[in-house]
């Protein structure tokens, strides 16, 4: 397991756990379990928030105060645990009625901002390589919520999916570029300013070679001072500008939004 991944383990095991029956278990022989899958997932999320995506299974065990191998009684392996974590952080207890008064554009902006906030709270999510989408209850609810933003418009289902995917990718892409944090195991990284100070002598020499005339023209420092969130908003706004005429064209008669 070199790189943390979702959808890389045994999908059946992951799905079984994601959609597991939560009704109280009937009585069985043997000691009562000390842990639950939920507690493990939440502990793992807490550890990942602290240590980054390369959290270790031993850290999760330690967080729960149990032996290293104990959590394997509840979860088949790290990959499946990550599947559970990813679904869990996507949980949104927000009220769907929040969308009521909003038009499609405000709704999609809300969707993007919500996703952004999740990444901001759990930057390790950005380092996870999703092989195949594993749908659990929470991510399914998020997807359902996203589709509901298109109510009152007759955009074809296929295009609705394309729009949702586009927005997600746009948010994820921007977040990945800006939001990755130091993980505990690594030496702390230089901050933005320090980083450019390190590169500067090399870039300066490169510019002097004359090979990069267009970049060279960007002398003004303000060309680079966009924040992460501004970059995301810019991409989103242009995308929605481009979507607008199509949405207007399919607005259902009698719908004011």
**Binding track, positions 28-47, relative to DNA; x by CB under 7 A:** xxxxxxxx------------
Cα dihedral 31, 36, 40, 45 in deg (nearest 10)? -170
Shortest gap between Cβ of 197 and DNA (angstroms)?
24
CA angle 37, 40, 11 (to 5 degrees): 60
- Give the count of residues interacting with its own copies (CB under 8 A): 86
Q: Which one of the spans 29-37, 57-65, 137-145, 248-256 is the region binding its own copies (CB under 8 A)?
A: 137-145
Indicate whether 174 belongs to the interface with its own copies (CB under 8 A): yes
Structure tokens at 110: 């809300």
Structure tokens at 47: 């550890």
5: left (phi over 0), alpha (psi -120 to 50) or beta: beta
Indicate whether 102 belongs to the interface with its own copies (CB under 8 A): no
Q: Which one of the spans 59-67, 98-106, 109-117, 204-212 is the region binding its own copies (CB under 8 A)?
A: 204-212
Indicate whether 56 belongs to the interface with DNA (CB under 7 A): yes
* d(C-alpha 199, C-alpha 90), whole Å: 37
* d(C-alpha 151, C-alpha 85), whole Å: 30
Q: Which one of the spans 69-77, 99-107, 118-126, 233-241 is the region binding DNA (CB under 7 A)?
A: 69-77
Indicate whether 173 belongs to the interface with its own copies (CB under 8 A): yes
Indicate whether 209 belongs to the interface with DNA (CB under 7 A): no
Shortest gap between Cβ of 65 and DNA (angstroms)?
7
The interface partner of residue 12, options being its own copies, DNA, none and the CB cut-off 5 to 8 Å by kind, is its own copies
Q: If residue 58 lies in a helix (H) or strand (E), which one and from where to where?
A: helix 57-64
Q: Do residues 95 and 148 touch, judged by C-beta distance below 8 A?
A: no
Indicate whether 201 belongs to the interface with DNA (CB under 7 A): no
Structure tokens at 89: 């952080």
**Binding track, positions 76-115, relative to DNA; x by CB under 7 A:** -xxx------------------------------------
Contacts (CB under 7 A) with DNA, residues 145-164: none
* d(C-alpha 187, C-alpha 178), whole Å: 18
Nearer to DNA, 22 or 101 (CB): 22
Those residues whose C-beta lies under 8 Å from the C-beta of residue 142, and which sit 6 or more positions away, are 90, 92
Q: Give the residue, chosen from 93, 95, 157, 256, that forms a contact with its own copies under the rule CB under 8 A.
A: 157
Query: Exposure of 180 by Cβ count < 10 A (0-12 exposed, 13-18 middle, 19+ buried)?
Result: middle
Q: Give contact residues for DNA (rule: CB under 7 A).
A: 1-2, 27-35, 55-59, 66-70, 72-74, 77-79, 185
């Amino acid at each position: 397991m070199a790189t943390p991944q979702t959808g890389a383990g045994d999908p059946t095991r992951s799905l079984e756990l994601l959609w597991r029956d939560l009704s109280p278990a009937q009585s069985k022989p043997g000691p009562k379990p000390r842990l639950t899958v939920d507690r493990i997932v939440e502990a793992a999320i807490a550890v990942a928030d602290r240590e980054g995506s390369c959290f270790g299974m031993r850290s999760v065990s330690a967080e729960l105060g149990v032996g290293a191998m104990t959590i394997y009684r509840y979860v088949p392996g790290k990959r499946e645990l990550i599947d559970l974590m990813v679904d869990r952080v996507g949980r949104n207890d927000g009220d769907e009625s929040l969308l009521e008064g909003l038009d499609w554009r405000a709704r999609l902006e809300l969707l993007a901002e919500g996703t952004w906030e999740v990444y901001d709270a759990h930057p390790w999510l950005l380092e996870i390589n999703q092989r195949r989408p594993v749908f659990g209850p929470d991510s399914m609810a998020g997807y359902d919520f996203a589709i509901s933003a298109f109510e009152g418009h007759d955009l074809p289902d296929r295009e609705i999916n394309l729009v949702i995917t586009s927005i997600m990718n746009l948010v994820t892409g921007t977040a990945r570029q800006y939001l990755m944090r130091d993980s505990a195991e690594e030496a702390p990284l230089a901050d933005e300013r320090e980083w450019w100070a390190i590169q500067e002598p090399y870039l300066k020499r490169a510019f002097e070679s004359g090979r990069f005339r267009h970049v060279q023209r960007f002398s003004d420092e303000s060309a680079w001072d966009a924040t992460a969130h501004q970059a995301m908003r810019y991409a989103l706004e242009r995308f929605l500008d481009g979507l607008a005429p199509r949405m207007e064209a399919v607005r259902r008669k009698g719908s004011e939004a």
